Structure 1
Amino acid sequence: MSLFNVFDISGTAMSAQSVRLNTTASNLSNANSVSSSIDQTYRARHPVFAAEMNRATANMDDKASVGVKVLGVVESDKPLTVEYNPNHPMADKDGYIYKPNVNVMEEMANMISASRSYQTNIQIADSAKKMLSRTLRLGQ
């Protein structure tokens, strides 16, 4: 694997972690929202990642790099929080309000993990850049 492939790998990883940070921010911003029906209630979202193995196995002779691919963003199937609060303006006819299934502590841990992963990939790309630069200076 050449050092140029390192840029592809770290670039796809940074892109994936950016999606993860955006979905985490969306979850945190909607954590305290309230609705009057189950259908309208925000549900936590999580990105699904996969290694780009198809591209790597198709180009085995080229020693292709294996990056990260975002397959999509899925909604959590954890149950929503139902609260009896008949005085709330958003309460349904039975007096219930519905809150998202967002776990704020879990989302904060996801945010820290994604942020550190992003920083690590930046450091990897920077190290590869320095190694390429030093390799080019060897011929001088």
Structure 2
Amino acid sequence: MIDPLQASARLSAAGLEAQSVRLRIVSENIANAQSTGSTAGAEPYTRKTVTFKGELDRALGAATVKVDRIGKDKAPFRVEYEPGNPAADADGYVKYPNVNMLIEMADMREANRSYEANLQMIKQARSMISMTIDLLRSSS
């Protein structure tokens, strides 16, 4: 059986991994927020989403988090009239990605805070292990 401190560190590590993927996807969405299609009337970048799932870690006997899938947002593309743009269709309209910067920034902030909380849990577990070792040394 795994001791509780090791278990908490492993659960936090799973959270770090999941939030790291989420931050990568949000960064990709932000980087492509103004990307248009490469040819006239082509589809632009489609916003990506991350879905998590709870999973039982039998070794720990606890629920942990995993990335379930990376999907595509079904929201409509933003369309703007720009007849001089190389990506404009026959009517002069350009499709822009369905990326909303306000949503992306909120997702980034939430993922960053979750990442920091999991990192803090690992630091606390390491600190408790270190204190336990110090106590064992001083008692012998």
Q: TM-score, normalised by structure 1?
A: 0.87
Q: Confirm whether residue 43 of structure 1 aligns to residue 46 of structure 2.
A: yes
Say which SS state the counterpart of residue 82 (structure 1) adopts.
strand
Unaligned 5+ runs, structure 2: none
**Could you tell me how far 1:139 is from its partner in structure 2?**
1.9
Q: Does the 8 Å CA contact 1:48/1:70 hold for their aligned counterparts?
A: yes
Name the residue aligned to 1:5. 7
Matched letter for residue 4 of structure 1:
Q
Matched letter for residue 11 of structure 2:
I
**Could you tell me how far 1:65 is from its partner in structure 2?**
2.7
Q: CA RMSD in A?
A: 1.6
**Could you tell me how far 1:63 is from its partner in structure 2?**
5.3
Post-superposition Cα deviations, 1:42-94, rounded to whole Å, max 9, x if no partner, equal: 111111101113x4xxx4xx651322110111100001112222222221122
Larger CA deviation: 128-137 vs 24-33? 128-137
Name the residue aligned to 2:79. 82
**Could you tell me how far 1:37 is from its partner in structure 2?**
3.0
Q: Does the 8 Å CA contact 1:8/1:65 hold for their aligned counterparts?
A: no
**Could you tell me how far 1:120 is from its partner in structure 2?**
1.1
**Could you tell me how far 1:132 is from its partner in structure 2?**
1.2
State the alpha-carbon separation in 1 of the partners of residues 136 and 87 from structure 2.
Answer: 72
Say which SS state the counterpart of residue 86 (structure 2) adopts.
coil
Say which SS state the counterpart of residue 33 (structure 2) adopts.
coil
Q: Confirm whether residue 132 of structure 1 aligns to residue 129 of structure 2.
A: yes
Q: Does the 8 Å CA contact 2:41/2:90 hold for their aligned counterparts?
A: no
Runs of 4+ in 1 over 3 A off after TM superposition: none
Say which SS state the counterpart of residue 63 (structure 2) adopts.
coil
Post-superposition Cα deviations, 1:7-64, rounded to whole Å, max 9, x if no partner, equal: 11110100011001000000000101122335x31111111101113x4xxx4xx651
